[in-house]
Amino acid sequence: MKHIKIFAPATVANVACGFDIFGFALNNPGDEILLRLKEKRGIVISKITGDKGMLPEEPEKNTAAVSVMALLDYIKSDKGFEIEIHKKMPLSSGLGSSAASAAGALFGANILLGKPLEVKELLPFAIESERVACGTGHADNVAPALLGGFVIIRSYNPLDIIKIPTLPELYCTVIHPSIEINTEYARSILKSEISLKDAVKQLGNVAGLVTGLFTGDYNLTGRSLEDVIIEPFRAKLIPGFYDVKKAALMSGALGCSISGSGPSIFALCSSGETAEKAGKAMKEVFNKIDIQSHVYISEINEEGPKIIES
């Protein structure tokens, strides 16, 4: 193959109680990445659609290009790529937009190069590309974007990624309000130290969420979707957040919190019907305070990136 088009999924990171260690992939929304293999070394970003004005075309600043170049350097390849990026999700949304670009580009490039690495082995290159986007090499977006499903980052040094099963009827409602939150700023407002009381409560929720997903216990999963450390700070950046959260829970959602650093808000639900109902209620809250928003309803994406054209 000389060219390939990849669907790369959006992701929800942190998942309430799991700051920088939890993330899961969505079927909707997601980006499309088109790669063409070249005999000449180097990366060219030939086309960007969607939020073009916000996405750098310079290869050294673009997460898709940076991650693929890191792969080429690692395997000592003299090949190159022309990359088109078709953004199907908003940037700076808390849905892992930069991670989707990197994951999709890496996944496609690895295939065109003859699969020199397993998909999981591509993660370090995707993590490094995240430093270009937000200054921090975290994996809670790129890991689920590459591997699909619900992912735990147990350790960064050494890198230890665990994919765990999710509940069979689990749906996610995501609402993206038309406001902007800078990821670096959203990290800078967090405390560097926490109380023992908060740590104990958060650890209990982390253990409860993992157990709930493994055992198929919807009630335990919902009770564990509580963030006492990060959410109180970032909620201040999203007008109407607690009213939106209340609307989701009153509609039957298992739990609701901020996706990544925001401003998107996610709610996990036990059925598609409940997810639709929660999305409508959440949107009504933003409508009342004159903030436009877009709702996405999705099952959990278990496969990660996929080929849509070759």
Residue with tokens 């693929």: 68
Question: Rounded to whole angstroms, what are the CA distances from 265 to 31, 55, 62, 156, 282?
Answer: 19, 23, 26, 26, 9
**Which of 11, 130, 173, 221 does the annotation list as catalytic?**
130
Residue whose C-alpha is closest to residue 64's, from 39, 26, 32: 32
Taking the CA of residue 302 as centre, how many other CA atoms within 13 Å lie in the half-sphere pointing to its CB?
9
Residue whose C-alpha is closest to residue 145's, from 241, 26, 29, 262: 26
Give the strand order in the sheet containing 255-258: 255-258, 265-269, 171-177, 293-299
Angular region, 57: left φ>0, alpha ψ -120 to 50, beta rest: alpha
d(CA 219, CA 24): 19
**Which of 11, 166, 173, 183 does the annotation list as catalytic?**
183
CB 259 within 8 A of CB 284: no
Q: Does 183 qualify as catalytic in the annotation?
A: yes
Residue whose C-alpha is closest to residue 31's, from 85, 75, 107: 85
Q: Which residues pair with 35 in a beta bridge?
A: 4, 83
Q: Does 57 qualify as catalytic in the annotation?
A: no
Start-to-end C-alpha separation, the chain = 7
CB 217 within 8 A of CB 10: no
Catalytic residues: 130, 183
